[in-house]
Amino acid sequence: MNYIDIEKLRSLSLEDFLAIKPYPYFNTEGVLTESGFQDLLHNMPTMDMFEQKFGDERRAGQTPHDRYSLEYTPDMTVPAPWQEFIDELRGDAYRGEIQRLLGAKKVEFRCHWHYTPTGCDVSPHCDARREHGSHLFYFNCEEDWDPAWGGSTLVLDDGGRLDYNSAPPLEDFDAIHECDSIGNYSSLMLRTDHAWHAVRPINCPEDRLRRVFIVVVNPDKLFWKVRDRLIGKNIQRL
């Protein structure tokens, strides 16, 4: 089975991607094949694999991004469809399209799942400067998620005004663009100092979770490998 419809990415020209405002992001349906999406959706990693990430301090006083988190490592056992999907992500076709769109010569990936319960949110932030960008794949569908519960990624327009090292509320932004995230949708985002995004507080039943799989795109450079080793930071590189 093919999980990625690579033509969906190939059909997006670099010129068109870079022209998207307020910063380059591509929120669309069908980057995953429909059969691949359904196979992944019905074989999500179970909660006993996750660790709690609640109350962690963030840059510049930004409020914590509370969630359950699972970082993929090559030695872990995940449901077979997910291992097949991650193997496909690591192939030349997907990696090549991500490098083309994000303007990178050579990249490596980190992959993790985030499950977010009711009452939690994602405060406005820009991703770390070492990153080229990220690709968010959403795993809630109409049968298990009511749009009124929230959970959509918000693309925020700061008009180029706000400092990356700050903690602005949503009210400080000039415009808010809500991404489609129910069903077979994903969002590819180019990281900049003004690529702000967030998620409003979720208000869902206790037995439901916002589920996202994130591919973080980092430069494949010796500098970062040496730096991480020196400071004792363990970064998965795929």
pTM to 2 decimals? 0.94
Asked if residue 217 lies in contact with residue 97, where contact means CB atoms within 8 angstroms, the answer is no
| pLDDT at residue number 229 | 62
Asked if residue 132 lies in contact with residue 100, where contact means CB atoms within 8 angstroms, the answer is no
Q: What is the dotted CATH code of the domain comprising 6-44+53-231?
A: 2.60.120.620
Distance CA(6)–CA(178), nearest Å, equals 24
| pLDDT at residue number 145 | 97
Asked if residue 84 lies in contact with residue 3, where contact means CB atoms within 8 angstroms, the answer is yes
Q: Which residue has the tokens 């962690």?
A: 56
Phi, psi of 4 (to 5 degrees): -105, 130
Asked if residue 4 lies in contact with residue 88, where contact means CB atoms within 8 angstroms, the answer is yes
Asked if residue 153 lies in contact with residue 112, where contact means CB atoms within 8 angstroms, the answer is no
| pLDDT at residue number 144 | 95
Asked whether the CA dihedral 190, 195, 201, 203 is positive or negative, the reply is negative
What residue ranges do the domains of the chain occupy? 6-44+53-231
Three-state secondary structure call for residue 26: strand
How many CA within 13 A on the CB side of residue 123?
16
Average pLDDT of adjacent 10-residue blocks, the chain of 238 residues? 96 98 98 98 98 89 93 95 97 97 95 97 94 97 96 97 96 98 98 98 97 94 58 64
